[in-house]
Amino acid sequence: MNAVVLLGAPGAGKGTQAPMLADRLGIPVVATGDLFRAAVRDGTPLGIEARRYMDAGQLVPDQIVVRLLLDRLARGDAANGVILDGFPRTRVQAQALDEALAERGERVAAAVLVDVPGEELIRRMSGRWICRAAGHPYHERFSPPHVPGICDLDGSELYQRQDDKPDTIRARMSQQLSALQEVIEHYRASGVLRPVNGLQGITDVADAINAALVGTGIEPAGTTEHAAG
């Protein structure tokens, strides 16, 4: 089983790449947020345990998250590997994952980082504007209105919600980036970090990820060399 960790800040395009990579590699994406919601919803023993912490307003301990993850990795469709999305988020979680995999004789084979500079992330995340009349969404770069500051559909004024203003985004982002940086350093130290330039188009990033995985033992279907005989 090959575990690939997909790393990237919010807005880096990781969420777009995860299913594309899964398709190419023929292995599933495991998003821990989804696992969690499913376990709580289905009332599994781990879900019930997690729920107790959540009801008490506490963070669910990393050990429970890792056990949930290991249960998922034991399913048949993960036999050839998984892409982890949304985990680990901290150095402690990365260490817990390493220990848990090591007990099974496995390891993280590659940690792919979709790398986008912080200021660019802030520009991407903070470009959202909505109209006063109906909340129609726009983005300065990706879907600008025909006339700056005016809704195409109803002519009302566009404004930015507090949450979408650059200062708010910058404050939130700096916390997330410092945790991400710890995880990056963890995988850099263990020699499996594979950074790719996230400042490219979607297909170029996908190609860069493919190239970064060469030699890690995880390669897209069709590119693996089969031993003769």
Task: Please list the active-site residues.
Answer: 14, 89, 128, 161, 172
Q: Kindly tell me which of 154 and 207 has the beta carbon lying closer to Zn ion.
A: 154
Please identify which residue in 24, 89, 91, 136 interacts with Zn ion, judged by CB under 5 A. Answer: 136
Residue 158 near Zn ion by CB under 5 A: no
6-44 burial code (b ≥16 CB/10 A, e <16):
bbbbebbbbbebbeebbebbebbbbbbeebbeebbeeee
User: Residue 76 gets which letter from DSSP?
Assistant: G
Which one, of 223, 20, 219, 12, lies nearest residue 110 by Cα? 219
* Contact string 72-111 vs Zn ion (x = CB under 5 A): ----------------------------------------
Residue 131 near Zn ion by CB under 5 A: yes
Residue 153 near Zn ion by CB under 5 A: yes
Residue 134 near Zn ion by CB under 5 A: yes
Region binding Zn ion by CB under 5 A among candidate stretches 87-95, 110-118, 153-161, 172-180: 153-161
Name the minimum Å distance from CB 131 to Zn ion: 3
Name the minimum Å distance from CB 165 to Zn ion: 19
Q: Render 108-168 in DSSP notation, one character per residue.
A: EEEEEEEE--HHHHHHHHT-EEEETTT--EEETTTB--SSTTB-TTT-PBEE--GGGSHHH
Residue 147 near Zn ion by CB under 5 A: no
Residue 125 near Zn ion by CB under 5 A: no
**Pair 205, 113: CB distance under 8 Å:** no
Q: Kindly tell me which of 102 and 134 has the beta carbon lying closer to Zn ion.
A: 134
Name the minimum Å distance from CB 44 to Zn ion: 44
